[in-house]
Every structure is written in structure tokens, then in C-alpha cells.
Structure 1
Amino acid sequence: MKITDISQCDIWYQALLNRAVEFTGVFFVGVKTTGVFCLSVCRARKPKRENVEFYSDLKSALDAGFRPCKVCRPTENASTAPGYIEQALALVRQTPKQRISDTDLRLHNISPERVRRWFLQHHGITFQAFQRMQRVNVALQELKAGRTTTDVAFDNGYESLSGFGYTCKKLTGSAPSESQQVILIHRFTTPLGPMFVCATGRGVCLLEFVDRRMLETEFSDLQRLFNARIIAGENEHTRQAQREVGEYFSAQRQAFDLALDTPGSEFQRSVWEKLKEVSFGQTADYQSVAVAMGKPNAIRAVASANGANRVALVIPCHRIIGKDGSMTGYGGGIARKKWLIEHEARIGSKNVTLQPLASE
């Protein structure tokens, strides 16, 4: 939201002048004379006080029409994990089967309190809860590979089978010996802000910006449809998604190769497949999609299925615009939608036009 409290804005303006690191991501400053928005640490020449506006989040700055500064790159750096978090995560990656305690963090000059606050703010869970999910994920993968429950439990640092069983059932809803499925969730950063990717063992089932409207409803729907719990973790599909999305934003990829696992009605899935036929750098409208499906009167149903898409970018619902060329609704925000279309237009073609779809 735009901040209008003068005293607060004066404090933030002084932080901008001082390039105060502690304000990174706390506010975003829009510069009216250049049309860009920046972080507090931006090295660019400082604007006059009367030429700036302050926002509490990058989405509001984008919605106000400001574009990201090329010097401080706010959409990337505001959401990048700070150094102490990267250190903590490195410890987890080095010893994924062991619990990193507060004492271990302090031995590496990392404040457990700061780590805990960051995880609560960005993941909604503590660092220790995050570790438990990671360890359970590793254990489940080993169980699926054929190892015994006893070997897996003690090898992953659990002091007893009952302790392993309790933790596993609490997080996944099932005992280790039972056939079970979990949905893994991983957070990563893009130039338009952080995204969540969720995946089963079969493929990606969700890819959304973290501030997407109705995101909690999407999580609930996935858990109900798959009869599975969402826990923090990674697998080959989440890692591939992060890699390919990075390539997309860096103009190195125009088509995705991800395996998808997208529950939905037969009609919804047919719409999503048709959306994937809208080429990179092109757009379509709801009516053209309906006609291509052989259902010219199903425009509202197509729009509803488009809105129910949980896999942004890969199933490119952002390429669907109004028949008159207007920017229709988008879960990630109209500003992001416009940015994505212009990004693809610059790379894929010089002009964005309505692309006819093949009729079925």
C-alpha cells in the first residue's frame, strides 16, 4: 500500500539518503521524475523529497506504474534471503539428516532469534519446524527407495521409532509404514518477487507468486484433492521449476519442459492444455480459446477455468487478454501481467497480437 504518513515517510527518506541496509525490503520508494522504484540501499543519485512516494510492498509500487530500478533491482534483492539465512540453509544442506540447534547456529555466529523471525515472516513456520519437514521428506524418499523404517529412522537422527512415527504422522497424516503422499513446497525468488512451487512425486501442481490472491485456498484445495499434506522440501520437480523459471526471466527459455500434476475437471484440464498452445510472445482472448475448443458459447466457463489455473507461467494464463486488447484480471496482479506480456513481446516478437488457436 502507499504510505501517506509524513513522519514515517521522512524517516524512510533519510534511510534512502543513508542507504540504510536494515530497511532493505521494508519500503519501496517510487521516483516520480524517472518512473522507477528503488530499495533503501540504491546507489543511484538520490531524488528530492518532493519527487518520491513510499510503498510498503513492491506489488503496490508496480500497480502504481513504477518499474524496477536497474541499479538496485528491487524485485530481486528485496526478497533474497539475507546472508545469515543463507548460512543457516547451507548448514541444513550440508547435514540434511541432522538437526541444526540454536547452539550450532551460535557457533557459526548466526543469531537463532533472527533466523526464527525470518522464517516466521517468510514461511509462516520456525526454522526448527522447517528442518523437521526437510528431514521427514528425506526419510520418505528413502522409504520409497526400499529402505527399512528402522534404518531410515535412526539414520535420519531420530532417537526412537516412536519418535519418528509421531513426527511423520503429525506432518503427513500417516504412519511411516503406510502408503502416503506429500506435497512439497519450496520458495524461490524471481525478478517479479518470490514464488512458491509445490510438487508431488509426479510433477508440479502449483507455481504462484507468494502474494497471489486466494493462495491459501489453493493450498487447501490441493491437500483435499490429493489427500496429502503440504510440507517444506524439494524434489527433482521443484528444482527443475526453479531452474526453468530462472531461465524464462533471463530470456533463455520460451517453453517449459516441466512435468505437471494438475488436478481438475475434464473441462478445466482441456482449457489448460489449450492455454499452453498460446505461443510465447503472443496473446489470445477467452472467445478464441472457446472457439478453438469447439465450444464457442463456453466463454464464461473458459474464463473460470483460466482463473482456476494454479501453475503460473507454465500454463500461461497471463497471455489471455480482453478481446479489445485490455488487460483482464490476473491472480498475480495486472502490473505483473503487463510486465510478462511485454517481456515476452520483446524477446519473442516485435508486436504482441492475437494468435488464432487451432480448432479441435
Structure 2
Amino acid sequence: MLFDLPDHSTLYQALLDRNPNYDGRVYVCVSSTGVFCRLTCPARKPKAENCTFYGTVSECIEAGYRACKRCHPLKPMASADPAIGALLAALDERPEYPWRETDVQRMGFDPSTIRRSFKRQFGMTFLEMARQRRLREGFETIAEGGKVIEAQLDAGFESASAFRTAFAKLIGKAPGRMDANPILFADWIPTTLGDMVAVTSRSELHLLEFFDRRALRTELSRLDKFAKGRIGIGKTDTSEQIKAELRAFFAGTSANFQAQLAQHGSEFTRSVWQELQTIPAGQTRSYSDIAKAIGRPTATRAVARANGANQIAVVIPCHRVIGADGSLTGYGGGLWRKQKLLEIERQYLPDKLETHS
């Protein structure tokens, strides 16, 4: 688990030393390249602030990183299962290709068996892995100022309409309908619990959500109306700040978020969100606890609705609210992700901090 790993400085020194003791147990994801490696990788070492360390390959892939072609961190999985090895090699050779189950069958593999194997090893199917890789390439091309046609080609879509449809399914609008002179900017952020989208202005964070959240498109639609259609794709100082703060959070070095937040909600809803931000990392509260804290002890259900309406995940920690009986309750990002976030935050409890120091 993430909270069982040594601290960031220890792991970064192990990376510099190419320490073999961590081989197969810890991997480094490099935000500046989008690649993950073994700590023994012979490649040039990245800056410490660009590194996030995870304990499994699946966490690296779920965070949107590609395997390094120098140290081959996927090789053990490929060696253990020849089918996985063959498909990963095929994906490396043709990352832009729109892989389908018929392609898997043509290679002599049973699609259902492959689905189970990839889910078991990586937490996602082969087709999901391939699609995510293509779309991220296209998104980042646009974020860096590239044209839509360049993004389409980088994402491996021969059909402009297919690319528009896939992009719209992901972000809510086709790339050509994104504003060329926006006031709000959408950016892609890989994390250990899955890729996220951040929507920022020049000075504030308006949205931070996991791409698979069901309410994402509705939330983006509301922001689009707020911005009068002026949402585009791009990076801002605010999005770069929240990326750095999320890296520190998942790396176990800081649970403090300083990015300025734009909170779109009623006065009551905002009061709930503000109270959520007072819950220390590693601790939890019940809905009734929050209701009492804001002076509305009978408004437990309204608190639950406000909690569910939060569209700035992790930073406004709605995942720290649980049932009165201690059970995990609904979470828009999925209960498995809520459990993971709470596990990650155990490292921020006072006794854990003393142990690491």
C-alpha cells in the first residue's frame, strides 16, 4: 500500500543510487515525461519534484503513465503471462492504433481471458489501457497549443468524427467546440487513483474530478454555462500548482492544499464544504457531525446532498465523511477510491508523521 512505502526523500535517494533493493517493489512515475520506471533504470535522473513513487505497476498505469522502454518495468508481468507480454509489445509498437477485441482474437487470444488477466494485473482491461493512452496523447497535444487535427493524429484516430465523439464522451464537448480564447481551462492530471480533470481560471480552481465520475459531464456543463461557453483546454499557474500539490499528497510529503478555490454553490452548501476542509487528513466525520459543526444539527440529509455536490475532489475532502456507524457511504468517485484515499491519509496521522521524521 502507498502508506507503507518509505518517505519521498528516501525513495528519491534510492533512485539516484539505482538501489536494487527496491526493484520490483517500488516504481517511480515522472510527471515531466509521462513515463514510469524501476528505481534501477539507467536513464537520466529526473528532478525530485517531478517524481511520485508507487508500490505497484497497476497504480502507475492507472495514474496514466507509460512504461519506460529502457528498464522495462512490465517485463515480469509479461514473462509470467505470454499473452500479456505479446499484447503489451503490440501496444508499444502501435500506441496510436484503435485496438479492438477482434484484434485480440486475430492474435490468437480469447478476449474474455485477456480481460480478466489485465484486470487482475493492472486494474483495467487491455482495451481500456490502449484507449486511455490514445486520448491522453490527444488531450495533451491540444493543451500544449497543438491543433485539433494534430491531436487527432497523435491520439491515433483516422476519423475526425470518431475523435470528436471520444473526446466529447470524456470531456463533455468536442475539441472544436472548446473556446479558443477561454476564461476557464481544462487540464489532464494523472494520479495514483486514476486520471483527473482540473478546470481552472488564471487564479482559481473551479473543478477537480476523476474522469470516470458519472456527474462529471453535468458539472462541466454547469461550468460551461457559468463561463458562457468560454471553456478551453490549456495549462495555467493554478493547474500547475494543483498538480504539484496532488503529487505531494500522493507521495506522502504533504496534505496541505493552498490553491485558491472557486466554490459554486449556495451559502449552505459552501458552509458544508468549508467545514469539510477543517477535517484533518487521516481523520473522519459523520454527516451528523458536520451538521452540528455548522449549527444545523437537524440538517443531516441536506449536509449529505451538499457533500455529494462537491466538485473539487480530494482538496475539499468529502471522502472523509462516513456513516454514523463507521461504514463507508456513497462517493461519486467510487467506494473503492474512497477507501484508498482514507488508507493513503493514514500516513498523515500524528503518530505516522513522528515515525517518518
Q: State TM-score, norm by structure 2.
A: 0.58
Provide the secondary structure at the position in 1 that maps to 2:306.
helix
Output the amino acid matched with 2:304: A
2:57 aligned partner: none
Aligned positions of 1:226-237 closer than 5 A: 226-237=227-238
Is the 2:148–2:175 Cα contact (8 Å) retained in structure 1? no
Decide whether aligned partners of structure 1 residues 325 and 14 sit closer, same or farther in structure 2, where only a CA change above 3 A counts: same
Q: Which amino acid aligns with 1:85?
A: E
Q: How far does the alpha carbon of each residue in 1:235-283 deviate from its partner, in whole angstroms, 9 at most, with x for none?
A: 2212212221122111122110011111110000000000000001111
* Structure 2 residue 158 is matched with structure 1 residue 113: yes
* 1:203–1:23 CA distance, 2 compared to 1 (3 A): same
Structure 1 Cα separation of the partners of residues 302 and 135 of structure 2? 47
Q: Any stretches of 5+ residues in structure 1 without a counterpart?
A: 1-12, 28-39, 41-48, 141-181, 352-360
CA contact (8 A) 2:288 2:300 kept: yes
The AA in structure 1 aligned to 2:221 is S
Cα offset, 1:183, TM superposition = 2.2
Deviation string for 1:82-108 (max 9, x for gaps)? 69938x957984xx4x75866x999xx
> Is residue 251 from structure 1 mapped to residue 252 from structure 2 by the alignment?
yes
Q: What's the offset of the Cα at 1:188? A: 2.0
Aligned residue number for residue 337 of structure 1: 338
Residue 18 in structure 1 maps to residue 86 in structure 2: yes
**1:316-355 equivalence runs, <5 A:** 316-349=317-350
- Return the offset for 1:222: 2.0
CA deviation profile, 1:313-345 (whole Å, cap 9, x unmatched): 000000101111111000000000000000101
Which residue of structure 1 aligns with residue 137 of structure 2?
85
In terms of mean alpha carbon deviation, does 340-349 or 298-307 score higher?
A: 340-349
1:315 alignment partner in structure 2: 316
Contact 1:309 1:315 in 2 (8 A): yes
Instruction: Describe the superposition over 1:125-162 as per-residue Cα deviations: whole angstroms up to 9, x where unpaired.
Output: 99xx758958x24xx6xxxxxxxxxxxxxxxxxxxxxx
Structure 2 unmatched runs, 5+? 1-80, 105-109, 353-357
Cα deviation for residue 23 of structure 1 reads: 5.5
Does the C-alpha gap of structure 1 residues 67 and 254 become closer, same or farther in structure 2, counting only changes over 3 Å?
farther
Q: Does 1:263 align with 2:264?
A: yes
TM-score for both structures, normalised by structure 1: 0.57
SS at match of 2:158: helix
Distance 1:244 1:114, change over 3 A: farther
The equivalent of 2:306 in structure 1 is 305
Alpha-carbon distance in structure 1 between the residues aligned to 2:152 and 2:310:
40
One-letter identity of the residue aligned with 1:280? A
Distance of aligned partners of 1:16 and 1:53 in 2 relative to their CA distance in 1, 3 Å threshold: closer
Residue 118 of structure 1, CA deviation:
6.7
**SS of 2:283 mapped into structure 1:** coil
Distance 2:273 2:266 in 1: 11
Q: Deviations over 1:5-37 (max 9, x none)?
A: xxxxxxxx763253533458999xxxxxxxxxx
Q: Secondary structure at the match of 1:207?
A: strand
Aligned counterparts of 1:282 and 1:328: Cα–Cα separation in 2? 15
Cα distance 1:183–1:236, how it changes in 2: closer, same or farther (>3 A)? same
Amino acid in the other structure paired with 1:344: E
Aligned 8 A contact 1:318 1:341 in 2: yes
Equivalent in the alignment of 2:288: 287
Residue matched to 1:210: 211
Distance 1:15 1:343 in 2: 33
SS of the equivalent of 2:253 reads: coil
Instruction: Return the index of the structure with the highest Cα Rg.
Output: 1
Distance 1:20 1:115 in 2: 26
Number of aligned pairs?
253
Quote the residue 2:276 is aligned against.
Answer: 275
SS at 1:190 equivalent: coil
> 1:209/1:92 Cα in 2 relative to 1: closer, same or farther (>3 Å)?
closer
Amino acid at match of 1:18: A
Q: Is the 8 A contact 1:99 1:131 kept in 2?
A: no
Deviation at 1:81, TM superposition (A): 4.1
Does the Cα contact within 8 Å between 2:135 and 2:155 map onto a contact in 1? no
Distance 1:79 1:110 in 2: 9
Secondary structure at 2:199 match in 1:
strand
User: Residue 133 of structure 1 contacts residue 233 of structure 1 at CA under 8 Å; is this kept in 2?
Assistant: no
Paired AA for residue 237 in structure 2: E
Structure 1 counterpart of 2:50: none
- Cα pair distance change 1:115/1:300, threshold 3 Å: same
- Match of residue 169 from structure 1: none
Deviation at 1:226, TM superposition (A): 4.3
For residues 138-217 of structure 1, what are the structure 2 equivalents within 5 Å? 182-217=183-218
Q: Match of 1:20, SS?
A: helix
SS at match of 1:314: coil
- Local SS of the residue matching 2:186: strand
Percent identity for Structure 1 against Structure 2: 33
Look up the SS of the partner of 2:208 in the other structure: strand
Structure with the larger RCO, 1 or 2 (CA within 8 Å, 6+ apart): 2
Q: Per-residue CA shift, 1:26-59, capped at 9, x if unaligned?
A: 99xxxxxxxxxxxx9xxxxxxxx9xx88459x9x
Label 1:281 to 1:84 Cα distance change in 2 as closer, same or farther (>3 A).
Answer: closer
Kept after mapping to 2: 8 A contact 1:212/1:332 = yes
